[in-house]
């Protein structure tokens, strides 16, 4: 089969790396790909709209397309491909609203009694300002649309809340994505990412992972697209896992069917483990980044087979087999990330780092130019490491991180540290 992956990040490199293992693959393409993906796939010129991407698929005789990022899904790429009879992994536009519109997802959760925090919706600055002036802090302010993982602000006082709603509703920092905001209840607990393959009727959950959204250690600083991840999570016992599946994933699939949406592809539930049980923070309509980079190294099943079964609407005979090893994935980011990343800096030491036992390096914001690997984005590399214990996986990941050099390199030093301490 000729397979094409849409996207250019660390998630897409991890997908390409894992899918390449399948015996079904004859040739792998990526649009547009990155410096690392170019080593294992043919990277095609970037086009952004669904029709142009479909044209590329036809031109290159692609048998199956896999969509990594959320923007093409929200734009309706799956609808375009299906209309032209082109097989694709990813939900249709109506399903992608689970990520493209936080208000849609919130209403769907409340309607179907899926546990989540209370929320109010505002598109007018004065109304939002009046509401927060009577609020108890902290509160959470979310841009309704897509904001590359940076549209969620936790406000601990009135000044921070006013600044947050002003940036969305007055300054239009997130453009149309922030023209409406949700002001939500602040929930306390440990966060969990639980992803599931969906076939329109059922959800086949993956192993849980945990994402680190803040830029600095100890969860300080602004939100990012994710500074690292690890899998599995000690606090997600068998009972907790089953509770999330039964109270979140199953009723969500039923709720989507009730809306007339046949959801095929990946559904990502961002969950928080509160004293009152698991509650949903957000849904995404695609594979998580950087969770994918901590999950796929543990997967022993054929990823492509599962994705095809999902897209064809029948996961009834599909199972997922996992390694018992732990995986820790650390993001190396550019100076200035997340607000103003400085790029076009040469990266050194990748080949040496890749020789560390258990380590796999996934490129995110990179490009190969004249034999050199250059930074092109905020998140540059994901350094993932397998180990028999969290301690071993962390040591391998950070040993490899130390070997990689580029000017202004940023990273968190505490990825999976809590897990190591709990399991010590």
CATH of the domain at 146: 3.30.1490.20
What integer pLDDT is reported at residue 147 of this predicted model? 81
**Would 116 be classed as within a structural domain?**
no
Q: Locate tokens 């004859």: which residue?
A: 26
Q: What CATH number should be reported for the domain holding residue 226?
A: 3.30.470.20
My answer on whether 198 and 308 are in the same domain is: yes
My answer on whether 225 and 292 are in the same domain is: yes
| Residue where a domain terminates, one of 48, 72, 91 | 91
Could you read off the pLDDT tens digit of each residue along the chain, which spans 424 residues?
999 999 999 999 999 999 999 999 999 999 999 999 999 999 999 998 999 999 999 999 999 999 999 999 999 999 999 999 999 999 999 999 999 999 999 999 999 999 999 999 999 999 999 999 999 999 999 999 988 777 888 999 999 999 999 999 998 888 888 899 999 999 999 999 999 999 999 999 999 999 999 999 999 998 899 999 999 999 999 999 999 999 999 999 999 999 999 999 999 999 999 999 999 999 999 999 999 999 999 999 999 999 999 999 999 999 999 999 999 999 999 999 999 999 999 999 999 999 999 999 999 999 999 999 999 999 999 999 999 999 999 999 999 999 999 999 999 999 999 999 999 7
b/e 372-385 (16+ beta carbons within 10 angstroms → b): ebbbbbbbbbbbbb
Asked if residue 293 lies in contact with residue 359, where contact means CB atoms within 8 angstroms, the answer is no
Tally the C-alpha atoms within 13 A of residue 301's C-alpha that lie toward its C-beta.
Answer: 15
**Would 117 be classed as within a structural domain?**
no
**Would 97 be classed as within a structural domain?**
no
Both tokens of residue 85? 């009879």
CA distances 186 to 88, 212, 272, 313, Å, are 37, 18, 11, 37
My answer on whether 201 and 291 are in the same domain is: yes
Measure the CA–CA gap between 223 and 333, rounded to whole angstroms. 13
Query: Three-state DSSP class for 121?
Result: strand
Q: What CATH number should be reported for the domain holding residue 45?
A: 3.40.50.20
My answer on whether 351 and 268 are in the same domain is: no
**Would 105 be classed as within a structural domain?**
no
My answer on whether 138 and 248 are in the same domain is: no
Number of domains in the chain: 4
Q: What CATH number should be reported for the domain holding residue 402?
A: 3.90.600.10
**Would 77 be classed as within a structural domain?**
yes
**Would 113 be classed as within a structural domain?**
no
**Would 110 be classed as within a structural domain?**
no
What integer pLDDT is reported at residue 223 of this predicted model? 87
Query: Three-state DSSP class for 140?
Result: strand
My answer on whether 161 and 267 are in the same domain is: no
Which residues contact residue 266 at a Cβ distance below 8 angstroms, ignoring those fewer than 6 apart? Answer: 89, 90, 91, 195, 196, 197, 198, 285, 286, 287, 310
My answer on whether 64 and 20 are in the same domain is: yes
| Residue where a domain terminates, one of 290, 312, 334 | 312
My answer on whether 205 and 308 are in the same domain is: yes
My answer on whether 174 and 197 are in the same domain is: no
My answer on whether 69 and 139 are in the same domain is: no
145 lies in which domain range?
124-179
The model carries a pTM of: 0.94
b/e 33-63 (16+ beta carbons within 10 angstroms → b): bbbbbbeebebbeeeeebeebbebbeeeebb
Query: Three-state DSSP class for 68?
Result: coil
What integer pLDDT is reported at residue 9 of this predicted model? 97
């Amino acid at each position: 089969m000729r397979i094409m992956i849409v996207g250019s990040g660390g998630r897409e490199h991890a997908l390409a790396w894992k899918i390449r293992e399948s015996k079904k693959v004859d040739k792998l393409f990526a649009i547009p790909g990155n410096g690392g993906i170019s080593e294992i796939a043919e990277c095609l010129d970037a086009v952004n709209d669904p029709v142009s991407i479909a044209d590329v698929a036809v031109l290159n005789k692609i048998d199956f397309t896999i969509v990594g990022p959320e923007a093409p899904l929200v734009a309706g790429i799956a609808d375009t491909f299906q209309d032209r009879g082109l097989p694709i992994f990813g939900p249709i536009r109506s399903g992608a609203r689970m990520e493209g519109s936080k208000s849609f997802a919130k209403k769907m959760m409340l309607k179907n009694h899926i546990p989540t925090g209370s929320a109010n919706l505002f598109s007018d600055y004065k109304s939002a300002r009046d509401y927060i002036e009577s609020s108890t802090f902290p509160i959470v302010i979310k841009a309704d649309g897509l904001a590359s993982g940076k549209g969620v602000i936790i406000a601990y006082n009135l000044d921070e809340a006013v600044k947050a709603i002003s940036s969305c509703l007055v300054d239009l920092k997130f453009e149309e994505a922030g023209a409406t905001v949700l002001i939500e209840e602040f929930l306390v607990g440990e966060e969990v990412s639980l992803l599931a393959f969906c076939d329109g009727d059922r959800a086949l959950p993956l192993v849980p992972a945990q994402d680190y959204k803040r830029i600095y250690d100890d969860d300080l600083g602004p939100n990012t697209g994710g500074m690292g991840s690890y899998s599995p999570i000690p606090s997600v016992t068998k009972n907790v896992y089953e509770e999330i599946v039964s109270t979140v994933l199953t009723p969500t699939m039923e709720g989507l069917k009730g809306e007339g949406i046949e959801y095929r592809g990946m559904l990502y539930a961002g969950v928080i483990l509160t004293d009152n049980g698991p509650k949903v923070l957000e849904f995404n309509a695609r594979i998580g980044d950087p969770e994918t980079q901590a999950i796929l190294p543990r997967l022993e099943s054929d990823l492509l087979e599962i994705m095809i079964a999902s897209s064809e609407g029948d996961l009834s005979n599909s199972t997922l087999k996992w390694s018992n090893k732990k995986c820790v994935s650390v993001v190396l980011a550019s100076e200035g990330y997340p607000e103003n990343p400085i790029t076009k800096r040469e990266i050194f030491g990748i080949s040496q780092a890749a020789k560390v036992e258990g380590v796999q390096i996934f490129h995110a914001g990179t490009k190969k130019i004249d034999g050199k690997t250059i930074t092109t984005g905020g998140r540059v590399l994901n350094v993932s490491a397998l180990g028999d214990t969290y301690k071993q996986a962390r040591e391998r990941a950070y040993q490899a991180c130390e070997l990689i050099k580029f000017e202004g390199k940023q990273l968190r030093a505490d990825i999976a540290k809590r897990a190591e301490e709990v399991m010590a």
